[in-house]
Amino acid sequence: MNKAVVVFSGGQDSTTCLIQALSEFDEVHCITFDYNQRHAEEIEVAKKVANTLGVSSHKIMDVGLLNELAISSLTRDNIAVSHELQDNGLPNTFVPGRNILFLTLAGIYAYQLGANTLITGVCETDFSGYPDCRDNFVKAMNNALVLGMDKALEIKTPLMWLNKAETWALADKFNKLDFVRENTLTCYNGLIGPGCGDCPACDLRQRGLDDYLADTGAVMAALESKTA
């Protein structure tokens, strides 16, 4: 049986990946990580979205230890989300080690389930400047997991080379644009759908949607050329 595990946050990107995976695999299992993040509402949103879309299973994993180690505006309520970069060139929403931990644990979960595919919605084209969203990082993690577990495992990143407009187009391709638009949580301040309209995540999401709706044909064609 063709099985996949989706690293799932309930946001636009991971939900779009999940929608695509459900059309490609016999079984799709989700894993969501609770690290006492700033917008804890995302756990409940992830549960609701996964249940609505009809996944094979949905595991919520407590990784609160990450919160103890990683200082970020997403792990500390007393640090405001900033639009400015820090001295190290990274946004203060970057959670160091997050995707290292998430992909490691998701890989172990895939091993347990007998799944050979692990899917994550990271993106290098239109992203927030996080080093653990880059293609070379994912490939390095993939190699480490294969070597460390002696198991065939492929980490797929369907959004890696898509911009946000093309990600909206991908949801629309599966007739789920309105579902993603209304039910996912991308906002750093924990507001579903269009969000707060002010944080960097909301800005990126809305700009992508505006760009897609301004010329759906051209954006869909660009998506098709990238995914052909």
pLDDT at 223: 98
> Binding site residues, as ranges?
8-18, 187, 196, 199, 202
What confidence category does residue 188 fall into, taking pLDDT thresholds of 50, 70 and 90? Answer: confident
Share of the chain above pLDDT 70, in %: 84
Q: What mean pLDDT, rounded, does the chain reach?
A: 89
Annotated binding site for Zn(2+): 187, 196, 199, 202
Q: Which domains does the chain have, with CATH numbers?
A: 3-163 (3.40.50.620)
Q: Give the pTM.
A: 0.90
For 104-122, write each residue's pLDDT tens digit.
999 999 999 999 999 999 9
Q: Which of 117, 98, 139 is nearest to 9 (CA)?
A: 98
> Taking 70 as the threshold, does the pLDDT of residue 78 lie above it?
no
Over pLDDT 90: what percentage of the chain?
67
Spell 99-114 as b/e; 16+ CB within 10 A means b. bebbbebbbebbbebe
Instruction: List pLDDT tens digits, range 10-20.
Output: 999 999 999 99
| Residue located via tokens 């959004």 | 159
Question: Residues comprising the binding site for ATP?
Answer: 8-18
What's the rounded Cα separation, in Å, for the pair 40 and 185?
A: 10
33-61: average pLDDT: 90
Instruction: Please answer whether residues 122 and 132 qualify as being in contact, where contact means their C-beta atoms are separated by less than 8 angstroms.
Output: yes
Predicted local distance difference test score (pLDDT) of residue 89 = 63
Measured CA to CA, the distance from residue 121 to residue 32 in angstroms comes to 13
